[in-house]
């Protein structure tokens, strides 16, 4: 069990690392910290003393406690053959295949992987970045976290680039940073999916997209542009937007509102296959047959999408190739070679979950 002084120390350290307290900012007084944490003076002094020893704070006699410049020299150590990978998730969905693809390529050159995940929060992304930097990784392959939102970790990214640590993004980018990337052309792929649904005869469809990452924004834009190319049915388009912290119950409740309409959508285009699986399960519970009453399509060609009933019509993410290409690009960057970003044209995978409306 964590001791009280450790709790205080860790919370103050987190506030410093997150930028809540900036370098040379004055910390609250001992008395204020005692009130804030409801602990003894000894506990506060022990916690602050530990932070002093770790060079996170310094004291000015009679002036108080201040945040020290805790930044370190993160330049990769010579012959340090570790590449850091930071993704939103590790053990599920498409991520094991991407990571495996990277490992197959870089291990042949004597590199090993250090893996961390952010659970799609900027606070955990910051911890992951700092942990990687403290270990002096040779390079970083990063899936941006909530890439459509303002990111409080840009200060760290600018320091990483200033230290000339190679950075490669996968799946999305941070527009503020000029780093190479390996992505899918999400907008074009979603437009192809919608054209497929239109070719089946669907006119009224419901698009459901996660909008706190750029993949979701681009896929939603593809959905909208597809309808713009068909102005005669554009008024029949419907949209649900959600963020990663929203519960599936909330999303399903919104879907329910559209399904209760007399002229309800005949097809649902989902942000990804995980969402499509949840939607199909929900429709089954509502005694709505897929695809006979409502077609459902996904995105990414997740392995499980071919095995559920009905198997899901989707766009192929190319996760294995993404991993291998990311591995090749990061090795070229480590050799100081010029590299060019890659954006895949995702092919349509037709399966059983989408048919012509009846």
pLDDT score at 86 = 97
Please give the DSSP secondary-structure letter assigned to residue 153. Answer: T
pTM of the model: 0.82
Over the chain, what is the mean pLDDT? 93
Token representation of residue 189: 């792929």
Q: Where are the beta strands (DSSP E) in 227-353?
A: 237-242, 267-270, 295-297, 314-315, 342-344, 348-349
Sorting pLDDT into bands at 50, 70 and 90, what band is 190?
A: very high
pLDDT tens digits, one per residue of 90-100: 877 889 999 99
- CA 319 from centre of chain: 15
Angle CA 168–173–179, to nearest 5: 40
Pairing label, strands 64-67, 57-60: antiparallel
Sorting pLDDT into bands at 50, 70 and 90, what band is 1?
A: low
pLDDT score at 92 = 79
Counted residue by residue, the chain has a size of 358
* 8 Å CB contact between 72 and 125: no
CA dist., res. 17 & res. 24, Å (int): 13
Contacts of residue 114, Cβ cutoff 8 Å, sequence gap at least 6: 82, 83, 84, 85, 132, 135, 137
- CA 93 from centre of chain: 13
CA dist., res. 111 & res. 105, Å (int): 9
Contacts of residue 177, Cβ cutoff 8 Å, sequence gap at least 6: 154, 157, 161, 167, 169
Give the residue from 231, 227, 200 showing the smallest Cα distance to 296. Answer: 200
pLDDT, average across residues 222-238 = 97
pLDDT score at 215 = 96
Contacts of residue 232, Cβ cutoff 8 Å, sequence gap at least 6: none
Give the residue from 81, 80, 77, 54 showing the smallest Cα distance to 67. Answer: 54
Question: Is the pLDDT assigned to residue 114 strictly greater than 80?
Answer: yes
Question: Is the pLDDT assigned to residue 101 strictly greater than 90?
Answer: yes
Domains and CATH numbers, the chain: 4-67 (1.10.10.10), 82-184+320-344 (3.40.50.2300), 186-318 (3.40.50.2300)
pLDDT tens digits, one per residue of 42-64: 999 999 998 988 778 999 888 89
- Other CB atoms within 10 Å distance of the CB of residue 126: 21
CA dist., res. 114 & res. 135, Å (int): 10
pLDDT tens digits, one per residue of 247-289: 999 999 999 999 999 899 999 999 999 999 999 999 999 999 9
What is residue 65's three-state secondary structure?
A: strand
């Amino acid at each position: 069990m964590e001791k009280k002084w450790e709790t205080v120390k860790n919370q103050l350290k987190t506030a410093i690392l997150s930028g809540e307290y900036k370098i040379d900012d004055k910390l609250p007084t001992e008395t204020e910290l005692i009130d804030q944490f409801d602990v003894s003076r000894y506990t506060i002094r022990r916690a602050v003393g530990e932070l002093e020893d770790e060079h996170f704070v310094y004291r000015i006699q009679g002036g108080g406690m201040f945040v020290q410049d805790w930044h370190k020299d993160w330049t990769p150590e010579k012959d340090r053959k570790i590449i850091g990978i930071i993704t939103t998730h590790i053990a599920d969905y498409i991520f094991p295949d991407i990571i495996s693809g990277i490992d197959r390529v870089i291990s042949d050159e004597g590199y090993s992987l250090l893996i961390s995940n952010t659970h799609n929060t900027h606070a955990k992304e910051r911890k992951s970045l700092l942990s990687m930097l403290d270990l002096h990784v040779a390079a970083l392959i990063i899936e941006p976290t909530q890439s459509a939102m303002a990111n409080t970790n840009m200060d760290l990214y600018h320091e990483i680039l200033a230290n000339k640590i190679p950075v490669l993004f996968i799946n999305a980018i941070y527009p503020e940073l000029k780093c190479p990337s390996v992505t899918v052309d999400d907008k074009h792929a979603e437009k192809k999916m919608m054209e497929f649904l239109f070719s089946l005869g669907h006119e009224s469809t419901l698009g459901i997209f996660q909008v706190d990452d750029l993949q979701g924004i681009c896929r939603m834009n593809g959905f909208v542009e597809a309808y713009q190319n068909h102005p005669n049915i554009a008024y029949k388009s419907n949209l649900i937007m959600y963020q990663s912290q929203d519960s599936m119950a909330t999303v399903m409740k919104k879907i329910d509102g559209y399904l209760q309409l007399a002229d309800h959508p005949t097809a649902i285009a989902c942000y990804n296959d995980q969402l499509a699986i949840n939607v199909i399960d929900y429709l089954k519970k509502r005694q709505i047959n897929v695809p006979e009453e409502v077609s459902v399509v996904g995105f990414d060609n997740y392995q499980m999408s071919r095995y559920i009933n009905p198997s899901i019509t989707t766009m192929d993410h190319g996760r294995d190739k993404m991993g291998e290409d990311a591995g090749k690009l990061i090795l070229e960057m480590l050799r100081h070679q010029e590299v060019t970003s890659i954006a895949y044209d995702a092919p349509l995978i037709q399966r059983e979950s989408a048919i012509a409306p009846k």
